[in-house]
Amino acid sequence: MLQTYNGPLEKIDDYRWRIPKSSMPGMRVDGLVYASNKLIDSIKNDKAPQQVANVATLPGIVKYSLAMPDIHWGYGFSIGGVAATDIEAGGVISPGGVGYDINCGVRLVRTNLTEKDVKPKLKDLTVALYRNIPAGVGSKGDIRVDVKEEKKILVKGARWALSRGYATESDIDHTEENGAMEGADPSAVSERAYERGKKQSGTLGSGNHFIEVQVIDEIYDEEKARVFGLKKDQITIMIHSGSRGLGYQVCDDYAKSMVSTLSKYNIDVPDRQLACTPFNSEEGKRYFGAMKCAANYAWNNRQCLMHLTRLTFERIFGESWERLGMFLVYDVCHNIAKLEKHNVDGKEKLLCVHRKGATRAFAPNHPDLPQDYKATGQPIIIPGDMGTNSYLLTGTQKAMDETFGSTCHGAGRSLSRKAAFRNYTVGQVRQELEAKGISIMASGKGTIVEEAPGAYKDVNEVVDAVDGAGISKRVCRMKPLGVLKG
C-alpha cells in the first residue's frame, strides 16, 4: 500500500509548491507542484510527490521537475508529471516519462444540435454508439489491416484515415502535430506490438477511455468560444482513447530493455521505473522512433473513432454529419515526449519535453497552432469524471515561461481502481448517474465501478488551480448526457 508523502512541500503562492533539490540526494533541480490549498492534502496522501523528486535526478533535466494538480502515482513519473531535458547536454529520454498508453489523448467535436434536440433520443443514441464502436479490453474493430498497411498507419497517422475517407483536411488541421509526428520508425516496433495493433484501429479500449455526449452549460470567454464555434446549450462530443495494445507493447519493450542501458551510460536513478538513456544515443533514437509510431497510431485511432461517431449520429438523426455540424474543435495528446524549443535561463534550447498525463498548452501566436487559432492560443481539453464537468481551456504565455507550455490533463484519480471496488457498487454508480440524467453504456460492470465519479478529484478544483496559476484559461464547461465506457 502506498505511503503518505512526508517530504518537504514549501508553499510559494496560492497555486505553487516547491520540493527543494536539497531534500533528496541526487536532485538536480527543484520540484514544482501546481495545486490549490484544497488539493494539496490529497496530493500528500500518496507518494506522487516522491516521484516528482525522483524525476529531478534525471541527467540533463532543466528548470524544474513539474507536477500538475491532477497528479497521482504512476509508473516512474507521476501521472500529471512534466520534465524537460537538454539533449545537447546529455539529456535523457525515459519511457516512464511517456507512459504505457502512448498518446492517450482526447478530441472535442462540436455539433449544431442542442440539448433539446438530443434529450428525446439520448438512450437510443447511447445504445447505438455502444453497438457501433468496439470498446473494452482487447476489443477488435472492423477496420483491420495487415502488417504492411499497419506500417503506413504508424508513419502517416491520421492521414491514413484521410486516405480512406475517414477524415477531412479540416480534421487534420485541428489535430496536434497535424495527426502525425515525422520520423516514425516502423523498424523499431516489435512483432508483438504489430500483432496487438493490427485489429484495434477504431476501438475505444478500456479503463478511463470513453466517448461522451455533452452539453455546454457555461461560457467563460465569449470571444474564444465564438472562434471555436461554441455556444451555450450546444451539444459536443468528447472522444478519449490512445494507442491501444500497440502503444502498451512499445512502452513495455523499451522500459525493460532500457534498464540494462543505465550502467552502460553510468546513469544512476532512484527507481528502476525511471530507466532512461541519453536522447542522442542509439537506444534513445530507437525508442523515440518507436514512440512516434505509437503516437501516430493513436491519432489515427481517434480519427477512426470520430468517423464511427459521425456515422452513428447520421443514423440516429437522419442527417449527414456535415449538416449536423460535427466538426473537430481540436485533438490533444496526454502521454508523449517531444523535441521543442524553450527558453532556459535566457537562452533558447532544444529540449526533450516529457508530458505524462499532461497536456500541451501553447500560447497565442505559437507557430505550431492552426491559423484560425493563432489569436486564442491552443485549445486544451480537460475531461472530468463521467458524473461531473469537462472543460475547454486555452494556453498562455505564462505556461510557456513556467511549464514548457504544459498544463493538467483531467481530474486525476483520488482512489485506485481496487479502492473504488471497495467503496462503490455498480448499482450505486448507475443510480448516481441516472439521478443526474446521464445515460451510460459500458462493456463491463467492473469499468463502471473503477470509473465511479467519487474515484476522481473534483475537476472543478483542478481547473481552478491551473486557471488561477495562469498556465491555462477557461473558455467553456460541458456536462455529460450520455457516456460510452470501455
Beta carbons of 155 and 180 less than 8 angstroms apart: yes
Nearest to 477 by CA among 396, 406, 408, 384: 384
Cα gap 57→27, rounded to integer Å: 4
| 37-51 exposure pattern, b = at least 16 Cβ within 10 A, e = fewer | eebbebbbebbbbbb
How many CA within 13 A on the CB side of residue 326? 23
Cβ atoms of residues 292 and 299 within 8 Å: no
Q: What is the DSSP string of 62-99?
A: -SEEEEEEEEE--SSSPEEEEEEEEGGGT-EE-GGGT-
DSSP state letter for 212:
E
- Residue 323 is classified by DSSP as T
Active site (annotated) includes residue 240: no
User: Out of 334, 342, 354, 409, which one is annotated catalytic?
Assistant: 409
C-alpha grid cell for residue 108? 472535442
CA distances from 237 to 38, 101, 278, 330, 356 (A): 30, 22, 40, 11, 24
- Beta strands 379-382; 390-395: pairing state: antiparallel
Neighbours of 368 (CB within 10 A): 13
115: left (phi over 0), alpha (psi -120 to 50) or beta: alpha
Would you state the cell numbers that stand for residue 9, as one nine-digit string? Answer: 512541500
Question: CA-CA distance, 180 to 480, in Å (whole number)?
Answer: 30
* The three three-digit cell numbers of residue 485, written as one number: 465506457
Residue 161 CB contacts under 8 Å (≥ 6 apart), including other chains: 167, 300, 303, 304, 307
Nearest alpha-carbon partner for 304 in 131, 118, 126, 179: 179
- Phi first, then psi, for residue 66 (nearest 5°) are -105, 150
CA distance to 57, 90, 116, 476, 481, per residue, from 233 (Å): 48, 51, 9, 11, 12
3-state SS assignment for residue 187: helix
Active-site residue numbers? Answer: 409
